[in-house]
Amino acid sequence: MGQSGAFLDAVERASRAAPMRRPVLVIGERGTGKELIAERLHRLSTRWQEPLVTMNCAALPETLIEAELFGHEAGSFTGATRARTGRFEEADKGTLFLDELGTLSMGAQERLLRAVEYGEVTRIGSSKPVRVDVRIVAATNEDLPKMAEQGRFRPDLLDRLSFEVITLPPLRVREGDIAVLADYFGRRMAAELHWDSWPGFAASVQKAIEDYLWPGNVRELRNVVERAVYRWDDATQPIGHVQFDPFDSPWKPLTPPRAADAPDSAAAVPVRATAPSADLDGVSDLRSAVDAHERAIIEHHLGRNRYNQRQTAKALGLTYDQLRHCMKKHGLGERG
């Protein structure tokens, strides 16, 4: 889901590559939707009625990856009590999606190269190759050409798999998509909570969502929005608070320093983290900049405390009257 040019270009490239029988590499940061693109490649191909088999190459120890991919015969290694087909045979006539391709061992890469080149696999413990008709779609967030230069990935395998390379844009460069996705995830969560209507986001929350860099991309956005909606108690008012880091808490346990990290007792004293640096060079009106920062702080804490003004005043180290004065100064009503 999206409307930005960068996103639509990637989706269009996937649509054009789908009918081809050639391998496709999907590159992107975590949470950008690599598995969804792989599914699109399969569903729009002539193989759409055949199996789409997924294997996460990072989820298995190196000793089991080859057996998982290519299968094994009974007794071929300790624990192999019976013969088993591998993912290649399961995906015959369909599509095999290899996620986290960059984690494959060199031995598995060599066997994968033969399977891609000749269309046949040999189970571990067998000398008889099995013919398979499998379309390979692989995904990674690694720099495979750099890994090939460093000797960590086979260049010949990279050549075979890179008929088409689809690089998915991170969410931070998808102009306009953050608001669209946030609204979609928010509405879906509101429906799950059986709310009568979708109240939307408060202006301060909407701005915070737009300004955040989203290192976890769409997956992180979904978690943040759904968490904000489910924690909000008043379904008739716009969502007034969002927490990007679910582990952020004033009661977070301190990690005791290791001996190597604390040569003296002074190192064991926790130090208050400094505030992130602002764009100080861009400040041309000190009073307006200070007022804007003060307003943003008050809006944030009002939302965090569900607009309970006494709790908000306590959290900010103010009296109730001081908070009321600040709210009046910045034109903030009962609901911000």
Q: pLDDT, tens digit, for every residue of 186-207?
A: 999 999 999 999 999 999 999 9
Instruction: Please give the average per-residue pLDDT across 152-165, as a whole number.
Output: 95
What pLDDT is recorded for position 151?
A: 94
Query: For the whole prediction, is pTM greater than 0.85?
Result: no
The CA distance from 72 to 161, in Å, is: 25
Instruction: Please give the average per-residue pLDDT across 71-96, as a whole number.
Output: 82
In tens, the pLDDT along 252-266 reads 787 776 655 555 544
Instruction: Please give the average per-residue pLDDT across 46-59, as a whole number.
Output: 93
The CA distance from 72 to 84, in Å, is: 5
Of the ranges 59-68, 132-141, 253-262, which is most confident? 132-141
β-sheet bridge partners, residue 239: 201
- Look up residue 102 and give its DSSP letter: G
The CA distance from 5 to 177, in Å, is: 10
Domains of the chain: 5-169 (3.40.50.300), 175-252+285-329 (1.10.8.60)
Mean pLDDT of the chain: 87
The CA distance from 229 to 194, in Å, is: 12
pLDDT at 320 over 90: no
Overall residue count recorded for the chain in this entry: 336
